[in-house]
Chains A and B, each alone.
Chain A
């Protein structure tokens, strides 16, 4: 266990929850205010990356295991494409969200956008954390002095 950096650890523990909450806000409020899947996904990933930086990579991998990261990044793409496939099955064009509510196309657009943005968010979270794991997980081959 690490015993130094007490302030950092306390602040991180406080922040992680808030960051995730903010990510969810940006995710699901994206149609009324600036935001959406890309931004939310990155913010969500920041929570895990911050946790990993302060509490070591192993701790982060315990919370968010590597296999889950990979599956999530694939799952998000499938949510996005799956939405399109559902609209196709309903007899509309690919990603024509009117299919979800033909009588009130505006509502259909809302729902469709929420779903695909959720897919984007999941993928971006997964990919960002995967990039962090991939780089941080490499054994350091340059010592600090060499830089």
Chain B
């Protein structure tokens, strides 16, 4: 427990701490807000925090951008390659895919909100919940006699 409060430990793991703060912010927005658009924004923040987490774990101390050094003839400079320290490019590549997935999710979510707004005339979760509960009550009212018969 004592180790956690050492300054060096905190600064050395600062990106994890920030990742968790951002992640919890996003998750809190998703849970707390009743406005559907705000929920999607919260979801985005949540996802972006994960992207940042991935990008940060690809960092190698003193590493540079992972691009092959080229000589003037567009050939790989083998001599330079030996001396350069690269960051790990794989997490970046993975996150490129995840970002595209995030865009697809966001646009699909927003499209659904447009449709919800058109048919429920509101984008507030509480109102929608009330409308739906009423619909369910009406259904049960309409189709209930069987339930009573059974019991």
B74:A32 contact, CB within 8 angstroms: yes
- CB-nearest residue of chain A to B104: A127
Tally of chain A residues near chain B (CB < 8 A): 9
Contacting residues of chain B (81-131) with chain A, CB-CB under 8 angstroms: 96, 100, 107, 110-111, 114, 117-118
Partner of B96, one of A32, A38, A141, A142: A38
Tally of chain B residues near chain A (CB < 8 A): 11
CB distance from A31 to the nearest CB of B (A): 10
B114:A135 contact, CB within 8 angstroms: yes
B117:A135 contact, CB within 8 angstroms: no
- Cα distance A38–B111 in the bound complex, in angstroms: 22
CB distance from A133 to the nearest CB of B (A): 12
- Cα distance A141–B113 in the bound complex, in angstroms: 12
A134 at the interface (CB under 8 A from B): yes
A138:B114 contact, CB within 8 angstroms: yes
A131 CB contacts on chain B under 8 angstroms: 107
CB distance from A57 to the nearest CB of B (A): 15
- Cα distance A142–B116 in the bound complex, in angstroms: 13
- CB-nearest residue of chain A to B107: A131
A32 CB contacts on chain B under 8 angstroms: 70, 74
- CB-nearest residue of chain A to B100: A38
Taking chain B's interface residues, is the majority helix, strand, or loop, or is none over half, making it mixed?
A: helix
B96:A134 contact, CB within 8 angstroms: no
- Cα distance A125–B100 in the bound complex, in angstroms: 13
- Cα distance A142–B114 in the bound complex, in angstroms: 11
Contacting residues of chain B (37-63) with chain A, CB-CB under 8 angstroms: none
- Cα distance A135–B111 in the bound complex, in angstroms: 7
- Cα distance A135–B110 in the bound complex, in angstroms: 9
A134:B111 contact, CB within 8 angstroms: yes
- CB-nearest residue of chain B to A36: B96
B96 CB contacts on chain A under 8 angstroms: 38
A135 CB contacts on chain B under 8 angstroms: 110-111, 114
- Cα distance A141–B118 in the bound complex, in angstroms: 8
- CB-nearest residue of chain A to B96: A38
CB distance from B128 to the nearest CB of A (A): 16
CB distance from B64 to the nearest CB of A (A): 14
- Cα distance A134–B114 in the bound complex, in angstroms: 10
CB distance from A44 to the nearest CB of B (A): 16
Contacts A32-B74, A38-B96, A135-B111 known; 11 new A-B pairs at CB < 8 A = A32-B70, A34-B67, A38-B100, A131-B107, A134-B111, A135-B110, A135-B114, A138-B114, A141-B117, A141-B118, A142-B117
14 A–B contacts from the bound complex (CB under 8 Å): A32-B70, A32-B74, A34-B67, A38-B96, A38-B100, A131-B107, A134-B111, A135-B110, A135-B111, A135-B114, A138-B114, A141-B117, A141-B118, A142-B117
* A interface residues with partner B (beta carbon < 8 Å): 32, 34, 38, 131, 134-135, 138, 141-142
